[in-house]
Amino acid sequence: MTSSCIAFDGSRRIAVGPLAEVAADTKRAIDAGAEGPILVFDETTSELVEIDFRGSVASVLKRLPAVAAAPEPEESEPEAPRGRGRPKLGVVAREVTLLPRHWDWLASQPGGASVALRKLVEEARRTHAAADAARQSREAAYRFMSAIASSYDGFEEASRALFAKQGARFQELLRPWPVDVRQHTLALALASFAADQV
């Protein structure tokens, strides 16, 4: 779950910031007669955030989903003396399915399969960082547009321009849209077009 959200009352942005602040501000807007539909998004990914707005602001805040955070170490447990073997590095074991020739190659690498896979992943992350950021930007912009602007004039054409990486055309097609929706859509899509201009 994100720690930063953005809320809309129809096409009007009503709150942006940490989840608890956005939920409280949005609940106050609803109580003041917001017309709706009320949509709350993860500010970065544009995933919809489900919030139960029944009751008071306090009860809305109590029901909020927990924000993912790094677990704090428990102070009551004394640190066990280190035994033999490798230190814990936050490694998570998961299943990977590969062809026999892939396992053979990995086994022949210095340090074995795990070390080789970590090196490959880190290299791919560095090599494809800009492309990954552009893809995530495009996906977030499209997810937001689909949720809030699918009935707007030019939505289909704007979607095509977004995925065709036609930044100038995309901006032109969004010009008639309500200002808050247009601004947030452009902010989400910015990295998508910036990567292509580098």
| pLDDT tens for each residue of 76-89 | 455 555 556 555 66
Residues in the chain: 198
| Cα 149 to Cα 185: distance, rounded to the nearest angstrom | 10
Burial 125-153 (b: 16+ CB within 10 A, else e): eeeeeeeeebeebbbbbbbbbeebbeebe
The chain-wide mean pLDDT, for the chain, equals: 85
Task: State residue 139's pLDDT score.
Answer: 96
Query: Euclidean distance between the first and final Cα of the chain, in Å?
Result: 32
Higher pLDDT, 165 or 102: 165
Whole-structure pTM value: 0.73
Q: Which pLDDT band holds residue 156 (cuts at 50, 70, 90)? A: very high
- Best-predicted range by mean pLDDT (70-79, 105-114, 144-153): 144-153
Assess contact for 52 and 61: CB atoms under 8 A: no
| pLDDT tens for each residue of 46-85 | 999 999 999 999 999 999 876 544 344 444 455 555 556 5
Q: Which pLDDT band holds residue 178 (cuts at 50, 70, 90)? A: very high
